[in-house]
Amino acid sequence: MSWGHDDFVLLRVLMSNCLLNITKLTLFWRRFFTVVFSTSLLIPYFESQPVRAQVTEYCQLSRSAVQEKDNLRLSAVRGNQDALSRYQQLLRQHAQALQECRNRTWPQVQAIWLRLYPCDTRPGELDEIMDRIVNRGYNQVYLQVFYDGQVLLPMAINHTAWPSVVRTPGSQNVDLLSMAIQKGQERGLKVYAWMFTMNFGYTYAQRPDREGAIARNGKGQTSLYVVDNGSQVFIDPYNLQAKHDYYQMLQEVLRRRPDGVLFDYVRYPRQAGADSIATKVTDLWLYSNATQQALFRRALNYKGLDLIRRFLSKGFVTAGDIANVDRLYPQEGEPMWQGRLPQAQTKSILPPAQRQPQLQFELWQLAVAHAMQGILDFVALAAYPEQQLGIPAGVVFFPDGNQMVRRGYDSRLQPWDRFPSSLEWHPMAYANCGSTNVSCIAAQVRQVVSMAKPGTQIIPAIAGQWGQSVGDRPSLEMQMQALRQFAPQLRGVSHFAYSWQDPHDNDRKFCRAY
C-alpha cells in the first residue's frame, strides 16, 4: 500500500486533534484537583496547616481565628500533644500577622495594662490571658510587678522588703513574673514591668525598722492619714534606706529580663478638698529627717541656713528673723542658697521689713523645688539600671499633676515637664467630659506634646472599652480616632486596663471557675 500526499495531510490533522484533546484533558484534571484539594472536604487531612490569620482595622484577629486558637489551647491543656504542636504553630503565625499589621497601622505600639493574681498560676490561665491580648491587636503589655506593698517575685527567693503577690501554699517557687514574660514574648508581645515608685505600700509602713523612710508633712502626718483607702504609703525620696530597698527589688525584677520598665506613682499623695492645693510649707512632705538634711545642705552661707531652718519650723519668716540673722552673721552679705540670685532691692542694706516679702517667697519656692527634686532624683536612680541594660524606661504621670494655682501647687507635686526626654512619657489622659466628647482627653495629650522636647517618646494612656462607652467615658475607638486626628506623630497608645475588657477578671481574682 502506498501513501499519497492526501494521506499524509489527513494523518497530520488526526494527530493534531489528538494532541489537542490530550492537552484539554490535562488542563481539566489539573483544575479539578486544584478545586477539590482547596475545599473543606479535604481539610481534615490537612489540619496541621492553619488558615492564615485575618485581622481587622485595629489589628484584631477574626472570630474564626480566635475560636480555632481557643479550641487548640483547651485541647493542649487536656494533654493532647498534637493540639499542643498545632497551637504553638498558630501562636507563631498570629505573632507574625500582628507584627505585620502593627507595622502598617496607626499606632505602631498598642499596649494594655495588666494585673495578675495568684489564681493565674493555674494551667493554661496565662496562655488564655496573653492570647486575648494578641486577639485584641495589642503588641505590648504593661505588667504590674510592684503595687500595693507587694511584689511579683517567688516567695522562696524573695529577699526584698515586700511580701510576694503569690503566697498560696505550695507556690513558694512559682515565678509568675518570669512565666508572664515568657508567655508574652512567645506571642510577639513586648512585656514591660509596671512598678509603683514612691508609693511603697501599707506593708512597708508596718516595719518598725523603716519608720524613718516614710515621708511626713509639717502637720505630723504620713500619707496613711491623707489618702482615703489607707493603703498608700509614700516614702522620703532622699532616704538612703528607701533607695536601697527599691534598687534591690528592681534588680530582682530586671533579672527576669522584661522588655522595659514603667515607673508609676512618681509623685507625692493626692489629697482632697482644700488640701489638694499646697499653699504653705507645712503642706509639703519635707519633714522626714533625710529630706530636711538635704534641704539644709542647699544653704550656701550661715544666713541662708538659719532662715531655711526658721522657715521650715514656723512656716514663715518675719522681719525680726531677718534682723536677728543679720546680727548673728555680720560678716556675710545676703542669705544665700542654691539657685538664689538676689535682686538689687533685696540687698542686706535695705531694712528687714522691706526684704521680708521677697525672702519669704523665695524660701517657699526653694521648698517646693526641693520636694520636686527628690522625685526627679529618685526617678534617675530607678532608670539607671535599665539604661545600663539598654532597655526602655518610662514614667507614668497625670498631665495636671504639676499645676500651679496662684501661689500654690497641686499637692502631688509631679514635675513631669522636667522628666528627661531619654525616658518614655506615659501621660494618663483620663479626663472625663462625656460619653461622646473627647475634647478634654485630646487637650491633656496636646498639652504634653507641646511641652515635650523633640524626640521624646510619648505614649498616652486612655481608659475605656472597645465598642462601647463606660459611664461617661467614650469608647476606645472614639478616643483613638481623636488622638490620631490631632497628633498623628504619636507612635503609641495604651489602654487601661485588661480588667475592663475581661468579663472574668473578678473570677480570676478570687479563683472562681468560669
Could you tell me the pLDDT band of residue 53, with boundaries at 50, 70 and 90?
low
Could you tell me the pLDDT band of residue 46, with boundaries at 50, 70 and 90?
very low
500: pLDDT strictly greater than 80:
yes
**3-state DSSP of 184-243:** HHHCCCEEEEEEECCECCHHHHCCHHHHHHECCCCCCCCHHHCCCCCCCCEECCCCHHHH
Per-residue model confidence (pLDDT) at position 5? 43
Could you tell me the pLDDT band of residue 405, with boundaries at 50, 70 and 90?
confident
- Write out pLDDT tens, residues 348-361: 578 999 999 999 99
Per-residue model confidence (pLDDT) at position 348? 59
How much of the chain, in percent, has pLDDT values that exceed 70?
89
For residues 495 and 130, what is the distance between their CA atoms, to the nearest angstrom? 15
346: pLDDT strictly greater than 80:
no
Going by the DSSP 8-state scheme, the letter that residue 406 receives in this structure is T
Per-residue model confidence (pLDDT) at position 344? 57
Q: What is the mean pLDDT of residues 159-163?
A: 98
Q: How far is CA 452 from the centre of its chain?
A: 18
How much of the chain, in percent, has pLDDT values that exceed 90?
81
Q: What pTM does this model have?
A: 0.88
296: left (phi over 0), alpha (psi -120 to 50) or beta: alpha
Per CATH, domain 110-281+384-509 is 3.90.550.10:
no
Place of cell 500577622: 97
Q: What is the mean pLDDT of residues 460-472?
A: 94
285: pLDDT strictly greater than 80:
yes
146: pLDDT strictly greater than 80:
yes
465: pLDDT strictly greater than 70:
yes
Per-residue model confidence (pLDDT) at position 8? 38
* Grid cell at residue 357: 516679702
- Write out pLDDT tens, residues 184-226: 999 999 999 999 999 999 999 999 999 999 999 999 999 988 8
Where along the chain do its domains lie? 110-281+384-509, 289-371
Could you tell me the pLDDT band of residue 117, with boundaries at 50, 70 and 90?
very high
Please report which residue ranges of 429-492 form alpha helices under DSSP H: 439-451, 476-486
Average pLDDT, the chain: 90
135: pLDDT strictly greater than 50:
yes
Which 3 state secondary structure label does DSSP give 277? strand
For residues 123 and 114, what is the distance between their CA atoms, to the nearest angstrom? 19
Could you tell me the pLDDT band of residue 56, with boundaries at 50, 70 and 90?
confident
Could you tell me the pLDDT band of residue 18, with boundaries at 50, 70 and 90?
very low
Answer whether 404's CB lies under 8 Å from 272's CB: no
Q: What is the mean pLDDT of residues 169-185?
A: 97
